[in-house]
Structure 1
């Protein structure tokens, strides 16, 4: 059974099942939202469908939730997933419910806010210094200097980048046409849905559009990448300007990167550096999501301005939306360029 056929036989059939058991429309909508997000997480992170997920995959999902949700919300979502897997087990789509052990461990030993590895700026500079492949360097530097998610990086198109350099041969989108050296993070890309003329392999999870400055260090890395970037493998009539910024240079030559590839790139360097261990959790392993944590912690400490960091991360905060959206040039860009850390020597 293909991945495209899998969802109707699992998530949608399960939703029909709970509806038949008298669950109201609001409850069904909550189940659908959580299970769709979980399904997307598995596809992006592990290239798996729910019936193929293991206990460790479910644990990874729970760890991911801790960065954005409260303990009570995580417990609710875990109960949804537990009921879903109980259904799959009952109808023969899986041999066992992987959430059984997860729920037991959540009650016994899982920390609600795990302490992450404490990486200093000099240590991160040393780590970055070991990366010489133009694509890999561009991936890691972009994640570390913008705080965007792996999926958001994969969704970047050429038109989302405005570089004041001869390497830019395209017209950037209107949102950043007057903002030199800037990166635009959209909100419309959704996993499995068409956007910009192609079906996306990741979602942009932020709630509002964000314009992130590009400093001279990141600019140099992006220019270096653009100089060797392969021609895009395309079977559509998508305009050249809408081509992906980051494409594969190995087996997926010329194809848009996937979150799975990004995680693999980061993992191979982190493992070689002693920052990643099979079976290690969020408190130990350095991953693309860790880079988001590093960006948040270090930039917040340097600026002392939590609002600007919230804006750059794309977090929901009604008191900062208008302030930073309309004052991008005077406040966000100046503050960012003054305080963003350097990572290459």
Structure 2
């Protein structure tokens, strides 16, 4: 079938444009100008994704001029192409041939785009779902036998990729099982990183963007200048900014785009002795200088010495979970992936504080999680008794 053969339709006149353009013209020709602009934006992203032409990805075949242009436009938000990551398709994928798995890959590309958040991702998917719905309703000859791959992908867990607010209900494994999971990495980087998430409820995005200035370990070798919110602490704490992606300092430190704590509450969280020891063990082999603006976690693999990226952690945890039998199928709530730790830690700490049956989280758990509506700026209110209680219930993995 040649590119200038636009197919036929059972209902209405046959299109004289490629299906995507035909959809924009026919379905939104009478829409408001602002709506048409938004639809064009969303279908253009889809079109670029189909052809592997995403402007924020550096591809292997890009020349020096193209790479310089992309770095100039996206700065540190530009992402190096990796064949294992599903923000690309291999190029030249036609919309009428889109499979359900490829639709999931499209969702992954949207979620990885540094320009978009959850609401934008949902709007993009809604527009492309409408495109397939329109072609099917019109009886377009290229689409009549394929079904709506976007709709089908959403029904198979894709809604969890694009920022759906649907609740998750993962199986919470025991503390002993989590301890075995963490210890079996047998590597200081991933042992300390996963233990940090399992003890503190913090999201994956926080781990990528912590600098040494955000960590006070109360150890003679850790003499870097800490953040002002930690300078008066008399025991180990970490500090998590509410808006780490803002300001010149963020750009200078080359932090990972869109990796923030997703709250507007600044937090400090106590570090127990076990986690302190794990972090010190990691810092012994940390390849960078132990200075305030040094990233806490860096890659020891492909991008050696650079701030660890979300995809690196995602891939490593999936491989580890598959090896240990904690990976079931794509988008299963019981998979141990980076976000699993937030649910696990919240559940364990709440249960140990006897809050699980009270219809909500304990005050201490809300403080750790950064639940704004409940804690506001209470991150400063770590009384000695509250710190002591948290350290008592904080799960231990190396006893």
Q: TM-score, normalised by structure 1?
A: 0.70
The equivalences for 1:43-62 within 5 A come to 46=85, 48=87, 54-57=102-105
Q: Which residue of 250, 264, 285 corresponds with 1:195?
A: 250
- In structure 1, what is the equivalent of residue 389 of structure 2? 335
Q: Distance in 1 between matches of 2:308 and 2:133?
A: 34
- CA deviations 1:159-191 (Å, max 9, x no partner) are 000111123130111011112300011122339
Measured in 2, the distance between the counterparts of 1:166 and 1:117 equals: 41
Q: 1:111 to 1:88 in 2, by over 3 A?
A: closer
For the 8 Å contact 1:140–1:266, the answer to whether it is kept is no
The structure with the largest helix share of the pair is: 1
Structure 2: stretches of 5+ with no match in the other structure: 1-23, 46-53, 57-78, 94-100, 112-117, 135-142, 159-163, 356-360
Cα deviation for residue 57 of structure 1 reads 4.2
Name the residue aligned to 2:315: 264
Q: Give me the whole-angstrom Cα distance separating, in 1, the residues matched to 2:222 and 2:174.
A: 34
- The answer on 1:81 being equivalent to 2:81 is no
Aligned pairs for 1:1-345 within 5 A: 21-22=31-32, 46=85, 48=87, 54-57=102-105, 78=122, 81-83=125-127, 98-103=149-154, 112-179=166-233, 180-190=235-245, 195=250, 197-202=252-257, 203-204=259-260, 205-231=262-288, 240-277=291-328, 279-303=329-353, 304=355, 306-317=362-373, 319-322=374-377, 324-330=378-384, 332-345=386-399
Matches of 2:195 and 2:87, distance apart in 1:
28
SS state at 2:218 partner: coil
1:196 Cα deviation from its structure 2 partner? 5.4
Over 3 Å counting, the alpha-carbon distance change for 1:120 and 1:155 in structure 2 is: same
Bigger mean CA deviation after superposition, 327-336 or 46-55 = 46-55
Runs (4 or more) in structure 1 with deviation over 6 Å come to 49-53, 58-63, 87-90, 191-194
Task: State the Cα distance separating 1:194 from its structure 2 match.
Answer: 6.6
Greater RCO between the two (CA within 8 Å, min separation 6)? Answer: 1
Given that residues 138 and 225 in structure 1 are in contact (C-alpha distance below 8 angstroms), is that contact kept between their aligned partners in structure 2? yes
Pairs aligned (count): 295
- Any unmatched runs of 5+ in structure 1? 1-13, 64-72, 233-238
Query: Shift in Å at residue 273 of structure 1?
Result: 0.7
Distance in 2 (alpha carbons) for counterparts of 1:130 and 1:337: 24
Change (3 A) 1:274 1:311: same
Pair member with larger Rg: 2
Distance in 2, Cα, partners of 1:298 & 1:174: 31
Q: Is this contact kept in 2: 1:167–1:223, CA < 8 A?
A: no
